[in-house]
A and B are shown apart, each in its own frame.
Chain A
Amino acid sequence: MPKTKISEKDDELFSCSRCGACLAVCPVYKQTLDEGVAPRGKLSLIEAAANNKIAISEKLSQKIYTCTLCNYCTKECPSGVKVDELFKAVRGDLVESKKYPEVLDYLKSKIEKAYNITFDTNQGRLDWITQQPDAKFEDYLKETADVLYFVGCVSSFSPRSFPIPRSITQIFKRAGVDFTLLGEDEWCCGFPLYSSGMKDEIVRLADHNIRKVKDKKVKLLVASCPSCYHTWKHDYPKVANEKIDFEIMHISQYLHALIKEGKIKLNAINARVTYHDPCDLGRNSGIFEEPREVIKSIEGIDFVELPSAKLEANCCGGGGNLEYLDPGLSSKIAEAKASEIIGTGAEIVVSSCQQCERTISTALKKKKGEIDYRLKVMDISELILQSML
């Protein structure tokens, strides 16, 4: 059996004092009350494996992957243990040892064959455009432009997320932004595999995507998916052979800039609104203020924070592929998030992630029977478009 490489991380592993502070914030622990999947518990397993006290078993693997990669544990850790980095490194080792969830092979084969996470061919990336009655391709797929919008797999293929790219492109048109898309040339950014420990595949995907974006001679790439954004901004520069020579922004940052430049005119919306920080955008990328300022720039909005926001935001349960690996647990986490949102008394909950939007909507629907509330889930782009109309 291949040995783990984890022993290289000896110092980092030893720095965990087992104080238990991470338990109080870990969404997985809070729902299961099981030390076996708590951050501290996982670290103890990794340490035992690194010291050859236990084998790298299926069971160990299953525990390591029971995690949304929300990174709250790292943020909370008083000893400064980089828990998330350890988990990602160990996922890599588990892949090398061929001890990883089967569903990842399936995901990998999809991405290798069709360059996206669905069974559709990559032409399907254009469905959200063609299904609009008067859409013209040439408006979306220019040879060159100032800005490239990287749509991401979920928003491209999942019809329930179509409103996101549609809103964004409409906003761009109204604001006079010279933009383009990659269309069929857009490949999965690689995040689902990379974050699961399949480290090799991402290089080919990254190089392809960077080359194609460069061909468009853009100055700026905008992503609406926080995980795509994080991968482009923080992982590609480390792993890709191609060099990135354009700026990278999340849509919430770009909307913020457009509003400040006066390119977007907003009408009042009278509603109580709260905002959910997606883990990959907030805690993992440090973007907290721009989305809030975008929301607050709409007149009439009564903005309320969730009880735990920004660095302390609770995960929606949709991260780290947990939805594939343990759907029941993922939805329990989402329901806890939904209760927190309902508690604010908001009429609209805004997120800036298609995945969070989906998990939260589903969880809210489940709550419908229990609690009476009026709540709409919206992506930040949908909110802005609504206020422009």
Chain B
Amino acid sequence: MKEEHVKYLEEIAGQDKVLTDIEDKICFGFDSTRLQYLPDVIVKVKDSRQISSILKFANEYKIPVTPRGAATGLSGGCLAVNGGILLVLLEMNRIYYVNPIDLLVEVQAGAITVDVDKAASKYKLFYPPDPGSMKTSTIGGNIAENAGGLRGLKYGVTKDYVNSMEVVLPTGEIIDIGTRTVKSVTGYNLVDLMVGSEGTLGVVSKATLALLPIPPARASLLALFNNLTEAAKTVRDIVAEGVITATLELVDNVTINAIEDYLKIGLNRNVGAMLLIEVDGQQGSVDIEAEVIKKVCAQNNALSCKLAASEKERDVLWSARRAALSSLARIKPSTILEDATVPRSRIVELVEAVNNIAKKYDIMIGTFGHAGDGNLHPTILTDLRDKEEEKKVEKVIEEIFIETVKLDGTLSGEHGIGLTKARFLKLEISDEVYKLMKKIKHALDPNNILNPGKLFVD
């Protein structure tokens, strides 16, 4: 990067907001994939006008620009693979207002997810998309990845809560899209085009998000099973019985043992799988739904199905689920978390396929995840410093993807394609669709300066 370019960026954002030292580049050069690519310059922006000026400048000199939130991404989306400018949005973290009548909150893109939920909770409202990273991740990152969470089955994912937003287009124009209304059919649905576009079609600067009232009652259940297949069948049957649970999480034996090693809360180490289930709503319906779930569990030979008797018991259960990934992470130096997703009816097959792959390659895989929405997290435990292992892992991942697609599934339920899954994209989408996506990208970003190297390999 030329010195005068850095100077110009300093004029836009302020001298102390532009970093070029190697130490800063290293710290801003990774995300939660642990891959590392150094940007040429880091700019911490304050508002959409600054973003716009930077993008216009970048177009003029053909400098790549990569948006970055909190860098908790799991597909390498915020890595500056071609160097250039890393656009850091963390300081744009204002939460403007909560509107308890329209059930809306307006925020800047750098606001931390959990802070938005906290602001809503003052009005007895909540922001439903709750990714495991919500204490650190930004709303902008959530929108760009269309992040999901534990409550996806009943409450959906980020796209279901973005009403409108301010976006800076790759060429620098600042636009407002969407509405503050519950519904709208005015022109193309550009909001949904932007959500999940992984920072390749525009930089989100502000968003108006929908909120929901906190349900008055809830009940949590823990069901234990001999094997994964029976647990997965139960997932299917609960929904078939007409119960849409807030959460329906599956944890396999490898993961149960890892959690017990870590938390020592008395989980039964010998069971094949467990389901953690929560229903919420009005007290009466919660009670009825809990009964239905117990019945379905019994029909599927559950070893036990218990209702958490107190809030404390409930907290223990959910702390166990939340600790799933952490507990696995303690077993081996490297953990690779995938997010293969299939239609709910095919969960059993996916679980079996993953187990077979683990056996075939003699590699440890712990599986847990949002079984209710068909989104599992097969987690590969390994040591990537070992080059042989690294090669093996690549094959394992590829086979998981191939099996997933065969089951009418999708490569990524919530973590995005980004850098790490780009080479698999064509496994799932046809050449025509691939071309269409590239056309859209080209229409919005003719110079390919916004987050190049992501989604598409060519």
- A contact set with B: CB distance below 8 Å: 11, 14-15, 17-21, 23-24, 33, 35-36, 38, 41-42, 44-45, 48, 53-54, 57, 59-60, 63, 78-80
Contacts and interface: CB of A to CB of B under 8 A. Distances in A.
Interface stretch (B29-37, B204-212, B299-307): B29-37
B71 interface: yes
B329 A54 contact: no
B123 to A, nearest CB: 17
Contacts of A11: 333
B28 A35 contact: yes
Contact of B26 (A15, A23, A45): A45
A20 B34 CA distance: 11
B133 A20 contact: yes
B22 A14 contact: no
Contacts of B327: 78
B93 interface: yes
Interface in B21-75: 21-24, 26-34, 36, 44, 70-72
B222 to A, nearest CB: 22
Nearest to A48: B26
Given A15-B333, A44-B29, A48-B26, 10 more contacts: A14-B334, A17-B32, A18-B33, A18-B71, A20-B72, A36-B19, A57-B23, A60-B23, A78-B323, A78-B330
B11 to A, nearest CB: 21
Q: How large is the interface on B (under 10, 10 to 19, 20 to 34, 35 or more residues)?
A: 35 or more
Contacts of B71: 18, 20, 35
| B interface majority secondary structure | loop
Contacts of A80: 329-330
Contact of A44 (B26, B70, B133): B26
A328 to B, nearest CB: 13
Given A23-B70, A78-B323, A36 B28 contact: yes
B72 A79 contact: no
A21 B27 contact: no
A33 B90 contact: yes
Contacts of A20: 32, 70-72, 133, 136-137
A76 to B, nearest CB: 9
Interface string B120-138: 0000000000000101110
20 contacts: A14-B333, A14-B385, A18-B71, A19-B133, A20-B72, A23-B136, A33-B44, A35-B28, A36-B28, A38-B27, A41-B27, A44-B27, A44-B29, A44-B36, A45-B26, A53-B26, A54-B22, A60-B23, A63-B23, A79-B326
**Residue from B23, B27, B36, B334 with most neighbouring chain A CB atoms (10 Å):** B23
Contact of B329 (A24, A41, A45, A79): A79
Interface string B325-343: 1110110011100000000
Contact of B27 (A24, A45, A53): A45
Contacts of A59: 21, 23
Nearest to B327: A78
Contacts of A57: 23
B136 A21 contact: yes
